[in-house]
Amino acid sequence: MPTIPLPIISTVVAALLTVILPGRAAAAEWSGNVAAELRGFISEGAWPGQGDGGISVSAQPEFRHQWSDGRFGVTFIPFARLDSMDDERSHADIRQFDFLWVMDQWEFRAGIGKVFWGVTETQHLVDIINQTDVLEDIDGEDKLGQPMLRITRTIGNGGIDLFLLPWFRERAFPGIDGRFRPPLVIDADLSSYESDDEEHHLDWSIRWNQSIENFDFALSWFQGTSREPLLLPAGKVLAPFYPQLQQAGLELQYTGEAWLWKLEAVHRETLSERYQAFVGGFEYTFVGINESAADLGVLLEYNYDSRDDTALTVFENDLFAGTRLALNDTQSTELLAGVMYDLDLNSKSFRLEASRRLGESYKLEVEMHLFWDVDPLDPMYAFRKDDFVQVRLARYF
């Protein structure tokens, strides 16, 4: 990573963008959000040094400029967080900084970008282009910006994407004060790679997605550095090791009137292992419950990993049952809650996410995670004391 502090780079880049870009100034726009977050952990940490919660602030300004009727565009989205509990969670990143060129059915993007692949809710198994930002949340939905050249050819209501990924982003881990960590701290400075090119290995990927009648599907292939490291003992700490990985992925969704049927599956091969994993299930929605405007959804998803309990994943034979409530009111009040149950080890975890707009430009979000009956054999065992409640207030502009 660059040695110049990111906020300085961001300011300079932003100033340059505003000055040099062609077109009317009115076509360039800033938006984004700033947020304050309170986190409280219910129990004392399982490992020495862990804090009990704290306050945290974040900012994510977003600059966009498009010209020539949207055929060209530049997007710049820096992100920064300051955290009172864990120094490692105070971090900054460029989420997106890329140039877009659209020509008929072709789209070219160069720079730092982000993509999302997938259909399921419990985990994002197929989604592999971007490194996960585990410092932000344990739901795997926050990602680090990935340097890439992306070429898209749209075909009907779908298309083919080719990705060239010249620079790998290492995963960052919680520090000694942080929660959601193993007993030993993971030292990202000790990262090592299977490839001699280390983080400069040229990764690539191709994905075809299409929509036919009630089916949306995608097939993908990825070849390059695994986003998920193996953790090797190195004295009093753990050192990440990034093997080379090949992944074939499938995403499938059937959309009925009230039913959504979903499936994500992968086949992965590394030097030391080859395995399959999938997550599949349904979401059924009761529309306008009790003569009201509210919708109530019921979700059931099953997670499987062929590596059984030796897997470093918590999703090896697990069932998720949950519910989604959307009030469809003026303030867009929503809630998603559910229980994950390990069918082999009987470990259970509960998660809840709720949000509501306040006034025109604020949003209040509440998040809760609880763990119980966690078996020592479960990779989740290290987090068994990390039950927490989080309240986040964001101002959007």
Amino acid found at 195: S
- Strand pairing partners for 58? 35, 81
Q: Taking the chain, what is the end-to-end CA distance rounded to the nearest angstrom?
A: 29
Q: How, if at all, do strands 237-242 and 192-193 pair?
A: parallel
**Is residue 249 within 8 Å of 126, Cβ to Cβ?**
yes
**Is residue 27 within 8 Å of 67, Cβ to Cβ?**
yes
- Strand pairing partners for 219? 208, 250
5 near other proteins (CB under 8 A): no
**Is residue 91 within 8 Å of 57, Cβ to Cβ?**
no
158 near other proteins (CB under 8 A): yes
Q: How far is CA 150 from CA 6, 222, 339, 353, in A?
A: 24, 14, 37, 33
What is the edge-to-edge ordering of all strands in the sheet holding 230-234?
A: 192-193, 237-242, 230-234
49/288 with CB nearer other proteins: 288
Report the distance separating Cα 259 and Cα 281, nearest Å. 10
Restricted to residues 168-207, the positions that interact with other proteins (CB under 8 A) are none
Q: Give the per-residue contact string, 360-379, with other proteins (x = CB under 8 A; - = no).
A: xx-x----------------
22 near other proteins (CB under 8 A): no
Least separation in angstroms between residue 71's CB and other proteins is 10
Q: Enter the tokens of residue 182.
A: 């193993």
287 near other proteins (CB under 8 A): yes
Q: Which of 84, 191, 209, 270 binds other proteins (CB under 8 A)?
A: 209
Least separation in angstroms between residue 347's CB and other proteins is 27
Least separation in angstroms between residue 5's CB and other proteins is 26
Q: Which of 52, 87, 107, 375 binds other proteins (CB under 8 A)?
A: 107
Question: Among the candidate windows 4-12, 51-59, 101-109, 183-191, which touches other proteins by CB under 8 A?
Answer: 101-109
270 near other proteins (CB under 8 A): no
Least separation in angstroms between residue 112's CB and other proteins is 13
Q: Which of 141, 273, 308, 373 binds other proteins (CB under 8 A)?
A: 141
Restricted to residues 229-248, the positions that interact with other proteins (CB under 8 A) are none
Entry field: residues in the chain: 397
114 near other proteins (CB under 8 A): yes
Question: Among the candidate windows 37-45, 198-206, 226-234, 358-366, which touches other proteins by CB under 8 A?
Answer: 358-366
Phi, psi of 333 (to 5 degrees): -75, 125
Of 98, 138, 129, the C-alpha closest to 13 is 98
Question: Among the candidate windows 5-13, 112-120, 344-352, 377-385, which touches other proteins by CB under 8 A?
Answer: 112-120
Q: Give the per-residue contact string, 57-86, with other proteins (x = CB under 8 A; - = no).
A: -------x-x---x--x-------------
Report the distance separating Cα 111 and Cα 100, nearest Å. 9
Question: Which residues have a Cβ under 8 Å from the Cβ of 259 and sit 6 or more positions away?
Answer: 282, 283, 284
Q: Which of 216, 353, 367, 386 binds other proteins (CB under 8 A)?
A: 216
- Strand pairing partners for 110? 99, 149
Of 143, 141, 142, 159, the C-alpha closest to 151 is 159
Report the distance separating Cα 193 and Cα 200, nearest Å. 10
18 near other proteins (CB under 8 A): no
**How far is C-alpha 35 from the chain's CA centre?**
18
288 near other proteins (CB under 8 A): yes
259 near other proteins (CB under 8 A): yes
328 near other proteins (CB under 8 A): yes
Report the distance separating Cα 120 and Cα 178, nearest Å. 29
348 near other proteins (CB under 8 A): no
Spell out the SS3 assignment of 129-172.
CCCECCCCCCCCCCECCEEEEEEEEECCCCEEEEEEECCCCCCC
Least separation in angstroms between residue 87's CB and other proteins is 26
Least separation in angstroms between residue 94's CB and other proteins is 15
| Footprint on this chain of other proteins (rule: CB under 8 A) | 31, 33, 64, 66, 70, 73, 100, 102, 104-105, 107, 114-116, 118-119, 141, 152, 154, 156-159, 209, 211, 216, 253, 255-260, 285, 287-288, 293, 295, 328-332, 357, 360-361, 363, 394, 396-397
